[in-house]
Amino acid sequence: MLSVVVLPQSCVWYGECGVASGDKRYNCAYDGPPIALPKDGYDLLQELCPGLYFGNVSTCCDVLQLQTLKNNLQLPLQFLSRCPSCFYNLINLFCELTCSPNQSEFLNVTSTIPYYDPVSKENKSSITELQYFIGESFANAMYNACKDVEAPSSNVKALGLLCGKEVKDCNATNWIEYMFSKDNGQTPFSIIPIFSDVPVHGMNPMNNATKGCNESVDDSTGPCSCQDCSIVCGPKPQPPPLPAPWLLFGLDAIYVIMWISYMGFLLIFFMFVFGIWCYRRRHFVSEYTPIDSNIAFSVNSHRDDGKITCGERLGERFENGLRMTFTSWGAFCVRNPRPVILFSVVFIAMCCSGFVYIKATTNPVDLWSAPSSQARKEKEYFDKHFGPFFRTEQLIIQAPNSQPDIYSPYPSGADVPFGPPLTKEILHQVLDLQDAIVNITASFDNETVTLKDICLAPLAPYNNNCTILSVLNYFQNSHSVLDHTVGDEFFVYADYHTHFLYCVRAPASLNDTSMLHDPCLGTFGGPVFPWLVLGGYDADNYNNATALVITLPVNNYYNDSRKLMKALAWEKEFINFLKNYRNPNLTISFSAERSIEDEINRESNSDVSTVLISYIVMFVYISIALGHIRSWGRLLVDSKISLGIAGILIVLSSVACSIGIFSFFGIPLTLIVIEVIPFLVLAIGVDNIFIIVQTLQRDERLEGETLDKQIGRVLGDVAPSMFLSSFSETVAFFLGTLSTMPAVRTFSLFAGMAVLIDFILQVTCFVSLLGLDIKRQERNRLDILCCIKGSEETSGVQRSESILFLFFKNLYSPYLLEDWMRPIVIALFVGLLSFSTAVMHNVEIGLDQSLSMPHDSYVMDYLSQLNKYLHTGPPVYFVLEEGHNYTSLEGQNMVCGGMGCNNDSLVQQIFSAAEISSYTRIGYAPSSWIDDYFDWVKPQSSCCRVYNTTGQFCNASVTDPSCTRCRPLTQEGKQRPQGQDFMKFLPMFLSDNPNPKCGKGGHAAYSSAVNFINNKTDVGATYFSTYHTVLKTSSDFIDAMKKARTIADNITETMGIKGKNYRVFPYSVFYVFYEQYLTIVDDAIFNLCVSLGSIFLVTTVLLGFEVWAAVMVSITIAMIIVNMFGVMWLWGISLNAVSLVNLVMSCGIAVEFCSHVTRAFTVSTKGSRVERAEEALSHVGSSVFSGITLTKFGGIVVLAFSKSQIFQIFYFRMYLAMVLLGATHGLIFLPVLLSYIGPSVNKAKTHAAQERSRHTERERLLYF
């Protein structure tokens, strides 16, 4: 080692000597005094090192060295100059090294080589190594001023690009060591920094004054921004504490309250029951006589001498009016079957003619988001101003058979483990797969479609490379770059490991600064962030990744169906290719944009057979159960197969009519309508069919009464009850169209019309068909084969009672209404209600995407791997609507995040949100076009240049003397551009492609982020993008949207633009689907309350203004709904549009279970409530049980075998709960409730019933 001793106040070098490597040169050893700088170097010295511009401007550097310094500072300048004090300290370090007249005090040359200068013909020495003594306090102060500086386009700290290490591992010492290391690819010779605050080895360390990031460098600049300097903004924001759970005695307060309430109810109720029992024992019955509840507790035993009130008389007249109307109408239909049937068929045909206009909505956006919703409007705004969000094709790749790889860095350093998919062999195989995908061709309309025709290419037309977010893009998607190594026969100095470790820290770099000097920037011109292309790593140790993620963004074309069809055709081939791809070393999970819709369609087709079997089971049961066969000889005569089929066809016709009518008016059909409404109308319609047929079977024709009068009389008895249930449901469903949720609104519309038409057809067409069927039976003709007579002759159709009817009448009803049974029933059902009320707030909200997939779908595997491996969520864009003034200083400060910007600016608030990502679900600092633009346009930078002859933009890579900087190197020129200057250079920035001399070009990163208006004279809408954190469950997605909206609203408020005609809003592709869940609880309450309210009003009117009876019905239906929520919690069914439709539907089906029993109770003329309840249950219960419960039960059980998870969960489970809860409440709880607190007997109705039954052969009781 050669040691050169120099005198103080002298140089250690001057000028450049010899080539070190490439375009890098050594400096010439020189131990003389500083030399006056030629005048042509003054501008450069003033620009770079104004602190040395004094006196006769004597320095230890010439103009060439100054030019080299300027070139070498371009990269740090672009990333660190946004914080002036940071850059001031850094440039101080390099200016003192390069030009200080006192170099000899802190520089010590330790190695030189001889050099012959061919120009001056002199022998000189080239310096190949020297020591730089730097004050430790200076180094630490410089690092502290720079450590927080952001690189906006890369969403990372700038030191991550300049330190050669992860930001968390970077400190003052290793940062300076890296900058001066020969191995970084920028430094021509070794500079060894020695850190000390005291003189060492006779050298005085360079310890110039520094500026903190919270200090101004000069009068024209301010301190660094809060985003770039944590001291400026104080302590890191803390998330608000989670709301404390509401507890009582250490348990959920709702549980405790409901438990106490239930215990209190039981205590009071059983005391009341016991008190009544004791009272009855003392006053009504001797101790030797058994208690007869029907006599002893005859609370409202009617007396003929009681006065009839106006309300009772009005109710009786209304009831009688309905009875007489339906009696006359029924008789007319039986007398004139052919015209009635013909008219019905014509009506059905006319309605079904609307099928020619049928349109089905399959677009998920239209299904789940109302056109007037906030998310829908924001989506349309985003699509209009920035283009629709791209389609995504994605692969998640693992290497299950590979072992982790250990990399030993040269010349020293700890071993670095590399995950199994990051071995070179696997990377080559993945690159082969990637190339094969890029080369996939599809055919559409005789045209060949390739990925290049549809992919996102941000630099087109200059660079047509597709955006491929893949780790292979760090290696330019090239096998040769992947194999690039530098070394000798003994050591490998740098290879793909070195390049990978650099690129994950500096994805936007155009030079990895290792010996490889390969770029990291993707071939498409943008950075490839490691969290997007790697999975399964811990913390930020990307080298530990256990999965690779490849994402291919494809252009979306909402308004160009031809281009969209091309994209769909290519995606189809992409899916087919990957389904058939085989490589034993790779495990691949994949999905295309069309995958979910394709799989839902496949699932729907596969479930057609399940649904058909379900309906066939119900059809067979109905056809058999309607008939009442008295002997084997009359099997085919007494059966009602043809009538049952006709009834079912009427039910299905009503659904078809509803679809036809609304299709004619242009209302599109949805999948939920097709799947749910036939089931609903079948439940309602079949119940009515059973009630009509079974009541007629139990009825005995009066003396001298014709068939038409008998059927008319029976219809007069039962049709008001049918009308009550059908009209209640119709009104409830039509009011359901007030909902803002498209799925609920469409269902309610189609269901309301279907139920109404079904009722109309049942009291017209079905009654006529029933008359024809009875005539066939009376003539002893076979069912279906009505031309053939049966062998066993009988005289007419005899009255018959089914086994089920006799069971209800003789066993079930008396047993249920026993004195000891009724309190138990009330206690059990109130207990069930208390439990459901306690847990209903725990029902989850949302719809897990995987539930909509078949079990055997490849998408299920993809969604599973996505949750397991992905480390970032969907992109989120904070959109600032058109109207903001970016050309004024005030307007810029409201938005930007750099020096001089407001501490509560748009960019700063998003940055602060990312600091507490676990709470806000904003994962990273935003990419800010305006901050990168300000760095790009600075006169110190070589980015913004124009031809001095034409004024056209001149890219930094162009070497042309006519290219001059855009703005002068004056104090004014160094300020941010405003007014016309701002608009003059912004289009140049957005068209500039990044290159090694200027990495800040905005074309790839921001070309779609800024929307120009008024012929590029003003800025319209713009966005600032970042990413959500990983979102896995529906509650994660909902919370992310809520938090993003809160942040955007706060930005709008702090910018002071709240009252103006523009605002800030967040947009992410999933918001439009998840917005419904922000209000779904309110929507559910609104829809269910509207349904209950309408049922109450209609029931009040149609029961003859029996308000208390309507209250009983409403209470029971409300209990069924609350218990449905309890079942949802128990069975893991979440609240979403599908389950809300089912809940609205369960209101309709609950009416069927409750209204018939309640009406039978109100028109019963028995003495006590218990007797009336028993009569009502006996006569209506069997029809309700066989009509709905048994019919539905058979069909529902079949749904359990569906391949579709959505069918199993939302249809099988909910329908089963619906039917079981409806049956138990309608046939167990309601009769008991009525026996306790049912409405009093209507004396007017009793009197009228006695009048009607007078002069008949028997005291005929009403059968319903």
Of the listed ranges 676-680, 999-1003, 1170-1174, the least confidently predicted one is 676-680
pLDDT attached to residue 983: 92
Q: What digits encode the pLDDT tens for the residues 435-467?
A: 999 999 999 988 999 999 999 888 877 788 999
Q: In whole angstroms, what is the distance from residue 529 CA to residue 506 CA? A: 9
Nearest to 997 by CA among 70, 65, 66: 70
pLDDT attached to residue 133: 96
Supply 149's token pair. Answer: 């500086």
Interval 976-986 mean pLDDT: 91
pLDDT attached to residue 1140: 87
Helices within 1131-1213 (DSSP H only): 1137-1163, 1169-1184, 1191-1199, 1205-1206
Residue 616, pLDDT > 60, answer yes
pLDDT attached to residue 135: 95
Q: In whole angstroms, what is the distance from residue 53 CA to residue 40 CA? A: 13
Between the ranges 551-555, 911-915, 1105-1109, where is the mean pLDDT highest?
551-555
Q: What digits encode the pLDDT tens for the residues 14-57?
A: 999 888 877 788 999 999 999 999 988 888 898 889 888 887 88
Q: Is 219 exposed, middle or buried (0-12, 13-18, 19+ CB in 10 A)?
A: exposed
Nearest to 226 by CA among 361, 103, 83, 405: 83
Residue 908, pLDDT > 70, answer yes
Residue 228's pLDDT band, with cuts at 50, 70 and 90, is confident
Q: In whole angstroms, what is the distance from residue 633 CA to residue 209 CA? A: 116
Residues 6+ apart with CB under 8 A from 674: none
pLDDT attached to residue 789: 62
Q: What digits encode the pLDDT tens for the residues 294-327?
A: 443 333 444 444 677 777 778 778 888 888 999 9
pLDDT attached to residue 245: 84
Q: What digits encode the pLDDT tens for the residues 746-764?
A: 888 888 899 899 999 989 9
**C-beta separation of 644 from 769 below 8 A:** no
pLDDT attached to residue 632: 52
Q: What digits encode the pLDDT tens for the residues 104-142?
A: 999 999 999 999 888 888 889 999 999 999 999 999 999
Residue 289, pLDDT > 50, answer no
Helix (H) or strand (E) holding 110: strand 107-117
Residue 599's pLDDT band, with cuts at 50, 70 and 90, is confident
Of 1192 and 189, more confident: 189
Q: Name the phi and psi angles at 123, rounded to 5.
A: -85, 125
Per cent of the chain over pLDDT 90 is 35
Place of tokens 């020189």: 30
Q: What digits encode the pLDDT tens for the residues 805-820?
A: 788 888 888 999 888 8
pLDDT attached to residue 797: 52
Residue 796, pLDDT > 70, answer no
| Helix 310-335, helix 1243-1253: angle, nearest 10 | 40
Report cis status (omega within 30 of 0) of the bond before 461. Answer: yes
Of the listed ranges 521-530, 831-840, 1119-1128, the least confidently predicted one is 521-530
Helix (H) or strand (E) holding 1232: helix 1230-1237
Residue 852, pLDDT > 80, answer no
Residue 662, pLDDT > 80, answer yes
**C-beta separation of 1203 from 605 below 8 A:** no
pLDDT attached to residue 1100: 87
Q: In whole angstroms, what is the distance from residue 531 CA to residue 190 CA? A: 34
Report cis status (omega within 30 of 0) of the bond before 411. Answer: yes
Q: Name the phi and psi angles at 507, rounded to 5.
A: -65, -20
pLDDT attached to residue 154: 62
Q: Name the phi and psi angles at 614, rounded to 5.
A: -60, -45
Residue 367's pLDDT band, with cuts at 50, 70 and 90, is confident
Of 1094 and 559, more confident: 1094
Q: What digits encode the pLDDT tens for the residues 60-104?
A: 999 999 998 988 887 787 778 888 899 899 999 999 999 999 999
Q: What digits encode the pLDDT tens for the residues 1010-1054?
A: 999 888 889 999 999 999 998 988 889 999 999 999 999 999 999
Interval 206-213 mean pLDDT: 92
Q: In whole angstroms, what is the distance from residue 1069 CA to residue 874 CA? A: 8
Question: Residues of 183-203 as b/e, b for ≥16 C-beta within 10 angstroms?
Answer: bbbbbbbbbebebbeeeeeeb
Residue 790's pLDDT band, with cuts at 50, 70 and 90, is low
Regarding pTM above 0.95, the answer is no
| 1238 SS3 class | coil
pLDDT attached to residue 290: 40
Between the ranges 162-166, 627-631, 673-677, 840-844, where is the mean pLDDT highest?
840-844
Q: Own/partner pairs for 375-381, CB < 8 Å, 24+ apart?
A: 375/1041, 375/1071, 375/1072, 375/1075, 376/1072, 376/1075, 378/879, 378/1065, 378/1067, 378/1071, 379/1067, 379/1071, 379/1072, 381/879, 381/881, 381/1021, 381/1065
pLDDT attached to residue 146: 92
pLDDT attached to residue 97: 93
Give the number of C-alpha atoms closer than 13 A to the C-alpha of residue 268, restricted to the C-beta side: 7
| 886 SS3 class | coil
Interval 1186-1208 mean pLDDT: 71
pLDDT attached to residue 1125: 96
Q: What digits encode the pLDDT tens for the residues 1091-1136?
A: 899 889 988 887 878 889 999 999 999 999 999 999 999 998 999 8
Residue 890, pLDDT > 80, answer yes
Tell me the Cα Rg of the chain: 42
Of 1242 and 1055, more confident: 1055
Evaluated on CA atoms 970, 971, 976, 979, the torsion sign reads: negative
pLDDT attached to residue 303: 44
Q: What digits encode the pLDDT tens for the residues 235-279?
A: 777 888 888 888 788 888 888 999 999 999 999 988 988 888 888
Residue 287, pLDDT > 50, answer no
pLDDT attached to residue 1049: 94
Q: In whole angstroms, what is the distance from residue 545 CA to residue 417 CA? A: 10
- Average pLDDT score over the chain: 84
Of 804 and 1220, more confident: 1220
Nearest to 139 by CA among 177, 185, 192, 189: 177
Supply 346's token pair. Answer: 């014509």
Q: In whole angstroms, what is the distance from residue 539 CA to residue 534 CA? A: 12
Residue 1155, pLDDT > 80, answer yes
Q: In whole angstroms, what is the distance from residue 896 CA to residue 309 CA? A: 78
Q: In whole angstroms, what is the distance from residue 1254 CA to residue 730 CA? A: 37
Alpha-carbon distance values, 558 to 250, 562, 564, 1195 (Å): 54, 10, 7, 41
Interval 563-584 mean pLDDT: 93
Of 297 and 780, more confident: 780
Residue 1254, pLDDT > 70, answer no
Q: In whole angstroms, what is the distance from residue 739 CA to residue 755 CA? A: 19
**C-beta separation of 527 from 153 below 8 A:** yes
